[in-house]
Structure 1
Amino acid sequence: MAVSRSRDRRRTRRAYVGIVVVALLLFAALSAAWLYLAGRLENEVARQIDRAREEGLSIGCANRDVFGYPFRLGIRCDAVTVDGANGMLRIAGGAIRTAAQLYRPNRIVAEIDGPLLVDTPQAPPVDLRWALTQASATFWREGLDHFALVSDAPVLSLAQPAADRQPLAEAAHTETHVRRREGDLDAAFSATQARLVMPGAPDLPPADLSLDLTVGGAADWLSGRMNGTARERLAGRPITLRSARVDLGASEADLSGTVQFDADGRMSGTLHLSLLGANEIAMLVGQAAPDLASLANTIAAVLPLAGRQENGHTVIDITARNGQLAAGIVPLGTMPRLD
C-alpha cells in the first residue's frame, strides 16, 4: 500500500511538472508570436505613412506605440494629424487607440478622442467634438469588408479665431455602417435627437434621422476606388433606398424605392413617400431648405388627390423620369442634377 501511494504521488508530481512545462512553452510561444507581430505591425504602419508621404499626404502619429500584450495587438498615438499637399487639407485630432484580438486579427476596433479639426481652402474650419466615438473595421480578401462608426453626443461647430467655436448641429447619438455585400455596397446611417443650433437656424424640433440603402456594383468603394465626381461615380448604378426617414414626433416622413442616375446626373425611377402630418412637414422643409419649399408644398397639396391611406399614413407614389417628378399625371417639379 505504501509503495502504491508513493508511486501515485510521483505520477501526480510528474503530471504537475508536465502541465507547468507545457504552460511555459505556450507562454513563450505566445510571447514570441506577439513580439513578431508587433514588429510587423510597426513596420507596416511606418511603410504606409512613408507611402502616403510620397503621394503628398503627411500623416503624424505622436508618440506612436504598439500595445496590447499578450492577447491583443494595436497601435496608439497621443495625437493624429493629416496634412495635404500645398495646404489643401489639414486634419488634427486627439488620441487614437486601435486594437485587434490575436485570434481575430482581421477585425480592428478603435477609440478616438476629440476634438477633430478639419481645415480646407474650400470651406471654413470645422470643429467636431463628442463624448465617445468608437469605430470598427473588418478586412477580408478584397480589403475592407465592413466599417462602423458610433458616436455619443457629437457637436459640429465652426472653428473660430482665438480657439472659439460656433456650434452648427448636434445629436444625442449617431451611427454609420457600410459593408460589402457581394458586388454591392450597403450603407446605413442614423441620428437621434438631431437638431440645428447655428445662429439664425430655423426653429425645428429635434429629429430622429435614418437612412438605409444599397448602391449596386459599388463594393469596390470600400477599397478606395472612388475616382471622379458624385455624378460620375453614381451614373448607371441602381440605388435601392429601403428607407430615408425623418421622425419629428408628431409628424414623420419615410421615402423608399429604386432610382438610377444617368451620365448627366438626372434621376429616374419610382419612389414611395409615406407621410404623417404632411402640411407640417412641408412647412418645416420650407424653413430648413427654402429651395425645396415649392416642391414640398406641391407634394402636400397633391396628397389628398394622389395619395392613399396605409396604417394612418398617407402614401404617394412618385415617378422620376430624367429628373422630372410626377405623382401619376400630376407634375411635382424638377429634381436638381448631381454635380
Structure 2
Amino acid sequence: MPPILSGQSSSTSSRRFGWLAAAIVAGCVFWTIGWFLVAAKIEARLPETLAGITGANAKAGCENAEVRGYPFRFGLFCQTLSYASADDGVTAISGAFRSAAQFYRPGHIITEVDGPLAITAPGLDARVDWKVLQTSVQATADGVSRGSLDGRTVSFDIDGAGLTQKLAMQAGRITSHARKNGPDLDIALYGEDLQSNLVAGLAGKALTLEATLPGQAGLLNTPYTAITVPFETRFHRLSIELDETSSLEISGPVQIGADRRISGTLEVTVRNPQRIIELAAAMDPEIAKLINRFAPLIATLNTNPGNDGITLPLSIQDNRVSLGIFPLGQLPGF
C-alpha cells in the first residue's frame, strides 16, 4: 500500500504543476495579446491625442511613431517631434523622442529628447541644443499636475528683428519644475555655469528663478491655451550669482497689463555693487555713470542694512524703471 499511495501523491503533484505551468503560459499569452492591443490602440489614437493637447488651431507631429517597452512598459518613440501654431505663426521641430511609463504607474511618464530644437516665429529664429535632455511628468485626465526638466550642456542661439546682434548663451546644466498649487501655478528654474555674449566677460555661477503665477494652473491643462494678459507673476526669488561674492537678487510682484505694459514693486539686493556697476557699464555706460554719481545717496535707501548686501526698492510703472527716486530707463514693449 505505501508504494501505491506514494505514486498517487506524485501523480497529484505532477497534475498541479502542470496546471500551474499551463496557467502561467496562458497568462503570458493573454498579457502579450493585451499589451500589443493596447500598444496598437495608442498608436491609432495618437493623432487624436496630439490634437487634444494642442487645440484646434495648432498641430503636433510624431514622425514614424511606434510604441515599445514590452512586457512591462509602454513608451512612445518618434523619429522627430514637430509643432505648428496657426494663431501666432510659431513652428518648432526637434530630434528623436523616447518615452516610458510602467504599466502599474501609467500616469508617470519619463521622456528623453534629442537636439537640436529649432523654433521660428514672426521676427524670431532660435536654436537650442543639448547633450542630454530628460523630462518627468505626472499626467492626469485633464493634463499634467506637475513636471520637471533636466538639461545638460545646453546652448541657445537667438536671432530676431529687435536684436542688434545674435544672442548666444550656454549653460552647463538647466533644471526646471512646474506644478499646480490649487488655482495657482508654481514654477522654478535653475541654471549652472552660465555664459553669454550679451556682455563681454559676462558669466554666471548660478541662476535661480522661483515664482508663482496666481490663477494660472490651467496652463498645465489640455488642450493647451497660452497665457493671456492681464496677469500677475510673484517673484519669490530671481537671482544671478556671478561668483562667490557678487550677486543680484530680485523679489516681489509684477503685473502685465492688458496693454502689455509692465508694472511692479520689487526689492533688489546687490552683493558687491562695484561688480554689478562694471557689468551695467558694459551694457549701458549712461546707466553706470548715473549709478556711480548717486552711489552715496543710493546707499541711504538700503532697506535691510543688516545683511551683507544693499537692498533697494525697484519700481516699474508702465515699463518705466526706477531705483528709489532715480530713473533707470524704460523696458522694451512686447
TM range (shorter): 0.7 to 0.9
1:109 Cα deviation after fit: 1.6
Residues 223-302 of structure 1: pairs in structure 2 closer than 5 A: 223=221, 224-226=224-226, 228=228, 232-234=229-231, 237=232, 239-249=233-243, 250-264=245-259, 265-269=261-265, 271-288=266-283, 301-302=296-297
Residues 138-177 of structure 1: pairs in structure 2 closer than 5 A: 138-157=138-157, 168-177=168-177
1:214 corresponds to: 212
What amino acid does structure 2 have at the position aligned with 1:247?
A: E
Greater CA drift, 72-81 or 128-137 = 72-81
- Quote the Cα distance in structure 1 between the aligned partners of 2:219 and 2:74: 27
1:53 Cα deviation after fit: 10
2:191 corresponds to: 191
Q: Residue 69 and residue 305 in structure 1: after superposition, are their counterparts in 2 closer, same or farther (change >3 A)? A: same
Per-residue deviation, residues 31-81 of structure 1 (Å, max 9, x unmatched):
233123212211221224577999464544332211111111121122233
Q: Give the alignment partner of residue 309 of structure 2, picking from 305, 308, 313.
A: 313
Greater CA drift, 9-18 or 278-287 = 9-18
What amino acid does structure 2 have at the position aligned with 1:146?
A: R
- Quote the Cα distance in structure 1 between the aligned partners of 2:88 and 2:298: 50
Q: Residue 173 and residue 54 in structure 1: after superposition, are their counterparts in 2 closer, same or farther (change >3 A)? A: closer
Secondary structure of the residue aligned to 1:63 is coil
Percentage of identical aligned residues: 21
1:175 Cα deviation after fit: 1.1
1:242 Cα deviation after fit: 1.5
Greater CA drift, 56-65 or 276-285 = 56-65
Per-residue deviation, residues 257-277 of structure 1 (Å, max 9, x unmatched):
3444554534244x3332210
Cα contact 1:282–1:300 (8 A) shared by 2: no
Cα contact 2:252–2:264 (8 A) shared by 1: no
- Quote the Cα distance in structure 1 between the aligned partners of 2:234 and 2:158: 34
- Quote the Cα distance in structure 2 between the aligned partners of 1:158 and 1:192: 20
Cα contact 2:173–2:193 (8 A) shared by 1: yes
- Quote the Cα distance in structure 2 between the aligned partners of 1:87 and 1:309: 47
CA RMSD between the two structures: 3.5
Greater CA drift, 204-213 or 291-300 = 291-300
Structure 1, unpaired ranges of 5+: 160-165
TM-score with structure 1 setting the length: 0.79
What amino acid does structure 1 have at the position aligned with 2:272?
A: G
- Quote the Cα distance in structure 1 between the aligned partners of 2:49 and 2:308: 55
- Quote the Cα distance in structure 2 between the aligned partners of 1:91 and 1:247: 32
Task: Number of aligned residue pairs: give it.
Answer: 321
- Quote the Cα distance in structure 2 between the aligned partners of 1:267 and 1:9: 86
Structure 2, unpaired ranges of 5+: 160-165
Per-residue deviation, residues 142-176 of structure 1 (Å, max 9, x unmatched):
322112221100112258xxxxxx88111100012
What amino acid does structure 1 have at the position aligned with 2:62?
A: C
TM-score with structure 2 setting the length: 0.80
Is 1:16 matched with 2:17? yes
Greater CA drift, 2-11 or 189-198 = 2-11
Is 1:332 matched with 2:333? no
Cα contact 2:230–2:258 (8 A) shared by 1: no
2:299 corresponds to: 304
Secondary structure of the residue aligned to 1:171 is strand
Greater CA drift, 282-291 or 60-69 = 282-291
1:311 Cα deviation after fit: 4.3
